[in-house]
Amino acid sequence: MGISKKEAIDLIKLAESEGAPLTVSQLRELAGKVSAKFDSPAENAVMFLNSGLMPDKVTKSEKVVFDIINKGSYHSIVTINAKLVDVSGFIQSDEFVVALEKAVSATTPIDKVDAKIYEIMNGSKDAKGVRLPDGIWDDASRRFVLESATEHVRVMVGGAAPDSVFVLS
């Protein structure tokens, strides 16, 4: 069990108040300690994680998920706001975003800061330009699926980019 979003934000604030803001490595490590667990309030629930459009480029994969559930034997579907999962809420929090911007700005030319933050959050690329699943979002997504307390986790990807965080994690 990891630490809470609040505990992680408090650690950022403490480091800043002591004049020792966290580095990119420390922020990445801290994000990796924040809980990705989601306890479903429903019994026999199924959680479908979905992204993008189906191959027809019109039908949202979410509609297909609901069709599967309505025709299936599942008793309930769990729908959550990603920010309610501590790790997701933490890495989208103002405190984390600002701390990451400061940490990257301290070591990166100003015109490259946004690209570097994107890489840290969404993964780097190898020498051939293929995105690697080593971003903070990759770790959070992977841990969320592993730590989910629902009885079934099914991943359905329709039309998502082959190198997206959703697909690679």
Every domain of the chain and the residues it spans? 5-168
Q: Which pLDDT tens digit goes with each residue over 110-128?
A: 999 999 999 999 899 999 9
Q: What letter does residue 134 receive in the DSSP assignment?
A: -
Three-state SS at 83: helix
**Phi, psi for residue 119 in degrees, rounded to 5:** -65, -45
CB 36 within 8 A of CB 68: no
pLDDT in tens, 47-106: 666 555 555 655 665 666 666 666 665 555 555 556 667 888 899 999 999 999 999 999
Give residues with Cβ within 8 angstroms of 54, minimum separation 6.
60, 61, 64, 158, 159
Q: What is the pTM of this model?
A: 0.75
Closest by Cα among 68, 87, 75 to 30: 87
CA distance 12 to 56: 45
